[in-house]
Structure 1
C-alpha cells in the first residue's frame, strides 16, 4: 500500500508541477478540468448512478466547466460569498442528518448538488492560481496543515468525538490542533515567506492580515479550518451512506479524486470571499 501511495504521488507531482510552472495557463486549466470531471463521475457513483449515467454526469461537468473556461468570466465577489454562506448553512444541515438523513434526500437533488459544489471550487482554484503561486500554495497549505495538525493532535489529545456517526476518528481536540497548526503556518508565511524577494504576490495569509488585521484574520482562519473539516466530514457522510470506503480507485493507494479534494471544496471559494469582504 505504501509503495502504491508513493508511486501515485510521484506521478501526480510529475503532472502537476510542470502545469503549475508553465508559462501559459492552459496546462493547469486542463489539470483542474480533468480533476473536477473525475470527481463528478465519482459523485454520481456514490449517489446511486453506475455505468453510463455516472459517465454522463462527469461528461456534463466536463462540458460545463470547459465552456466556463472558454468564456473566462470575471466572477463578482458575490459568487464566493454565496458559496461561503451555502457551505456554512447547507453543510450544517447535511451533517445534522448524518448518513441516513443524506440517503433520504431525493436522488436528483443529491446528483445536482455535486456540480454545484465542484464547479465553484474549480473556478476558485483557477482564481487563486491567477493571483500567483504564492497565493495558490498558501491556500492549499492551509488545508494540508489543518489536516496534518488535526491528525497528530487528535491522536495525542483526542478525547471528545466530533461526529462519531460519520467519522469516529475525528475529535474536537483534533479540530483545535488543526487551528493551532494553521495559525503557526500563517505566522511563518506572513513573517518569513511573504517577505522573500522571489514571491510573486501576496499570500492568502498576507491578504487576510493586510485587509483585516491579526484579530479578524485569526477568526477568518478559524472559519476556514472549520470549513476544511466540514468538507472532509461531508464526503465521509456521502461515502458512509453509499457503503463505500473510498470515492473510487482512480488514485491507487489514495482512493479517489474526491478523497483528495474534499476539504478544499469549501475552503477555496470561502477564502476568496474572506479576502474580498
Structure 2
C-alpha cells in the first residue's frame, strides 16, 4: 500500500473517531467540534480568496463575526445565532458596497457561520439530535464514498467537467442511491419507516452534499489552488473534508426552519422535525 494512501486512511480513521465521539457525547463536546470546524473553514476560505491581502479590515470583521457566533454556540444561545449572523452578513455587504471590497467576505461569513450553527442545531442535546446527526453523516459519507467508487468503476459522461473533471454522472447517481440507503439504514435501526418523507429528506441531503462538493471545487479552481489548506495529512484542508457536509447541514437547517414556519413554531426539537417524528 502506498505511503500516501496509508496516510489518508489513518487521517480518515482519526477524523471519523473524533466526529463520532463528539456526536455521541453531544452537549459542549459537539458544540466545540462545530465551532472549531466553522472557524477553520473561515480561515481556509479567507486564505483561498485572499481576503487578508485584499481587505484586511474587512477580514478582521469577518473573524470577529465568527468568534461571536462561536461564543453564542458554546454558550448555548442558539436562538441568537442566526440573527447575529444575518446582521454580520448585512454589515459585511454594506462594507463591501461602500469600500468596493471583495464579495467573498460576506460569502465567507455566511458559509463558515452557517457551518457552526447548522451542525450544533442538528445535534442539539437530546437523543433525537444524536440520531439526526448520525443520519446526516450516513447520507453524506455514503454519498461521498460510493460516488468515488461507482464513478471509478463505471465511468461515463462527466458531471461538471469545467469545475471538477473527475466527477461523473454515474458516480453522482450511484452516490445518491447509496447515500439515501445509508441514511435509511440509520433511521430504520431506531424507528419504523411510516412514509416517504425520510427517503425524500435523504435524497435532498445527498444532492445538497454533492452540490457542496462542486461549490468548493469551483472556489479552488477560481483561485487556482489544489487543496483548501494542508491542515489534514493526506487530505488537504478542513473544507476539502466537510464541503458536502456543510451544504447537507445547511439544507437540513432550511428544511427544519421551513417546517417550523408551516407549523407555527410548535415543534421544539430539531431532530424530531428533521426526522419527521
CA contact (8 A) 1:40 1:61 kept: no
**Paired residues for 1:1-277 under 5 Å:** 1-13=4-16, 15-22=18-25, 25-50=27-52, 53=56, 56=60, 59-69=63-73, 70=75, 72-74=77-79, 108-130=102-124, 131-191=128-188, 193-195=189-191, 213-214=195-196, 216-275=197-256, 277=259
Question: Per-residue displacement from partner, 1:125-170 (whole Å, max 9, x unpaired)?
Answer: 1112114322111111100111112112212223111110110111
* Contact residue 247 and residue 258 of structure 1 kept, 8 A: yes
CA distance in 2, matches of 1:266, 1:246: 18
Could you tell me the TM-score, scaled by structure 2's length? 0.73
Hey, what's the Cα distance between the residues in 2 that align with 1:142 and 1:177? 12
In the TM superposition, residue 228 of structure 1 has moved relative to its aligned partner by: 0.9
Kindly tell me the number of residue pairs found equivalent between the two proteins.
Answer: 233
Flag the structure with more relative contact order, 1 or 2, with Cα contacts below 8 A and sequence separation at least 6: 1
Unaligned runs of 5+ in 2: 87-99, 260-277
State the TM-score, normalized to the length of structure 1: 0.73
Quickly say closer, same or farther: Cα 1:157–1:16, change in 2 above 3 A: closer
For structure 1, which runs of at least 5 residues remain unmatched after alignment? Answer: 84-105, 196-205
User: Does the aligned pair in 2 maintain the 1:41–1:57 contact within 8 Å?
Assistant: no
